[in-house]
Structure 1
Amino acid sequence: MERKNKNIILFPRVKERLVEEGMEALQAKRYDEALHFFHEAEQLGENSFHVALSIAVCHCELGDFLEAERRLRMLLQEHRDDIELLQMYVSILMQMQRYEQAEMVIRDALHRRHLSPSMREQLLRLLHFNQKMSKTALPLAEQDSIQQLFESDDITEHMKVIKQLENEDIAPVLSILKQYLMNESKNPITKTMILRLLTLKNVTDVVTIEKFGERMEAIPANLNEQAQTAFALHVLRQLENTLASENPSLYEVAVDIWLRYTYILYPFSPKPATCEDWIAALHFIACQFQGIPAALEKIARMYHVHAENMDFLCKKLYEVEKFSYF
């Protein structure tokens, strides 16, 4: 029996193409996609500093600070004189609120490196900032309790913690709140509450919010909730014109569904659809909730919209309804 050749023959420049695709995705801020390409290249033997650093950056942007810290630490062991790498590593440690470790790394660099005056000044400023943050940090036990709380699914408990943070300095837990916002598996209701908290606290950092497969970067201090919800308010006014007098109880149910949907969706806007499409979908689902017999096609004709569009929006509304009422 002829022995089969188990060697895998790769197409030319496979690694190079994977790295190119990874860099293109990274520059477009598609970090999950970039990470996939870089990992594929890594498995094929790509071990360049550039790719290793890019993988660490992807983990950092995705909120996986533990893996980012591990990879940056390994890179720093091989490239001890790379100041930019050192600064990135210290920044990650500070994001994780590991201030003592960050201080040790900075002091070690100041003692053993031949630094230019400007670089030494940068490190000293970073050391001063790290020491300042360390003084304002919450006790470790309190940080852990907030982290553990957000790992639960109890919205009521989430509300209590966020309400408590309204009267406290949130700087020590800002990195935890940022991680929550960008984690696709976390509850979108809590994300809305956190984002409103950051707006209230006038946070000027760029944060990444992920909800229902969509991702957005925003500066909380610059968010204008009234502008963000202008379309939602327009739908409410049209709902009142069409349903309030005809069937007040049905109108109240439709309003409740819509307010819940737009609250959970914030800061994203309801899309893609016209005002009439949404009103028709809300009318149909309100009927479903109240046990009123209703045909989707008939309601579509009432509002002069396509039934297919209505059905698509109904699915979006039902998707949100699986979350707890609040």
Structure 2
Amino acid sequence: MDKEKDERKIVYFPNVAGKLVEKGMAALKAKEITKAHEHFSQLLEIEPEHPQGHFGMVLSLVEMGNLSEASERCETMMQQGIGDYYDIFQVYISILVQLGKYQKVVTMIEAVLQENQLPSNIAESLYQLLHFSRQMTSYDLDSEADYDAGHEEDVDKLIDYLESDKTEKQWLAIQKLSTVDEQKSLPVYLTYLNATNKDPLLKSLVLQVLREKELDQEVVVHKFGREIKVNPATLQDIFLQDFSLSVKSKLSDVVEQGNPALFEMCMQIWWHYLFAITPFEAEPSNSSVWAAAVHKVASEMNGEDVTNEDLRMFYEVKPSEFEVAANRIMNIENQPFYRPFE
């Protein structure tokens, strides 16, 4: 009897959980997804509540294309308080977008933004997903949302969508192709970036996908009649750049305390503009000029009274400088598909 008990007793080596986390993350980075899944599964057998084990399992499921299961696991983690809530939330929202559940994305992001408890960099990055998802809820994609990215004919259909005149279909294709084998999706993405007649905001989405996939090679991007070569793996998050945060800081000093709603609109406009022009940078590189320009545009769109003289005094820049920048912002806001405040 004692022998049977001894046989059933499992003794693990010290720090086995930490080693499994390391192995799992290394396997994910090396695109050895099956191995990663095995490591995280083993970890959860040992420690069923291990936060990194659950998070790693979600990431491996996403890479395997099991988005529904990954989505369910995220929901469970948030409900049970396993891991960092906002890290899981970001991954969960990304999964919902890939699944085409745009109304749920809108509902969840609006709810957490209203709580005003998000770290600023996370809140800022969510504005773009909120904007895109709001746009998508006005377009009926139910019949297209069930594509299986593993089927050859469905991959071909998504590639055809990139040539569609409807930017909504292009957006869907970009999201769905992100779950396809890179040998199939990468050439399509690179062609899209190099095209001269594609939506600049959707090209930013493609760059975001390639950055998340850590594509370490030079790609050619055409935007606004200009060409630039960039390496997606080295691109910095536009929401965390010193310059973009400096503009935010100046707007906060002038607008936030007196008019929080206007400040939120300012930030949406600013992140929207940066996202549209990436990988190019805002020029001139004067944060006061851009803060004044954003303030001007947001005020006009919100029906607020602010004069050029007011802005000159607030930000200590000439109207001739910030009016040029404001016109550039309005050119982006007037893009036919992406209008965040309709």
Which TM-score band (shorter chain)?
A: 0.5 to 0.7
Give the distance between the partners of 2:269 and 2:239, measured in 1 at CA: 21
Bigger relative CO (Cα 8 Å, ≥ 6 apart): 2
| Residues 208 and 215 in structure 1, CA contact (< 8 A), matched pair in contact too | yes
Coordinate RMSD, CA, aligned: 2.5
Give the distance between the partners of 2:234 and 2:179, measured in 1 at CA: 21
Give the distance between the partners of 1:153 and 1:268, measured in 2 at CA: 25
Report what 1:290 is aligned to: 302
Determine if the alignment matches structure 1 residue 170 to structure 2 residue 182: yes
| Residues 284 and 294 in structure 1, CA contact (< 8 A), matched pair in contact too | yes
| Residues 228 and 269 in structure 1, CA contact (< 8 A), matched pair in contact too | no
Give the distance between the partners of 1:255 and 1:199, measured in 2 at CA: 23
Pair 298,274 (structure 1): closer, same or farther in 2 beyond 3 Å: same
In structure 2, what residue type is equivalent to 1:236? K
In structure 2, what residue type is equivalent to 1:229? Q
Report what 2:323 is aligned to: 311
Give the distance between the partners of 1:280 and 1:257, measured in 2 at CA: 12
Give the distance between the partners of 2:255 and 2:248, measured in 1 at CA: 10
Shift of 1:140: 6.7
In structure 1, what residue type is equivalent to 2:206? I
In structure 1, what residue type is equivalent to 2:178? E
Give the distance between the partners of 2:151 and 2:295, measured in 1 at CA: 51
Determine if the alignment matches structure 1 residue 325 to structure 2 residue 339: yes
Report what 2:52 is aligned to: none
| Residues 178 and 207 in structure 1, CA contact (< 8 A), matched pair in contact too | yes
| Residues 178 and 185 in structure 2, CA contact (< 8 A), matched pair in contact too | no
Report what 2:218 is aligned to: 206
In the TM superposition, 1:230-245 aligns within 5 A as 230-245=242-257
| Residues 228 and 268 in structure 1, CA contact (< 8 A), matched pair in contact too | no
Report what 1:195 is aligned to: 207
| Residues 182 and 208 in structure 1, CA contact (< 8 A), matched pair in contact too | yes
Using the size of structure 2 for normalisation, the TM-score is: 0.51
Moved over 6 A (4+): none
Identity %: 25
Give the distance between the partners of 1:273 and 1:201, measured in 2 at CA: 29
Determine if the alignment matches structure 1 residue 224 to structure 2 residue 224: no
Pair 297,214 (structure 1): closer, same or farther in 2 beyond 3 Å: farther
Pair 144,221 (structure 1): closer, same or farther in 2 beyond 3 Å: same
How many residue pairs match? The answer is 190
Give the distance between the partners of 2:196 and 2:268, measured in 1 at CA: 25
Pair 228,185 (structure 1): closer, same or farther in 2 beyond 3 Å: farther
| Residues 216 and 233 in structure 2, CA contact (< 8 A), matched pair in contact too | yes
In structure 2, what residue type is equivalent to 1:147? I
1:159 pairs with one of 163, 168, 171: 171
| Residues 262 and 269 in structure 1, CA contact (< 8 A), matched pair in contact too | yes
In structure 1, what residue type is equivalent to 2:339? Y
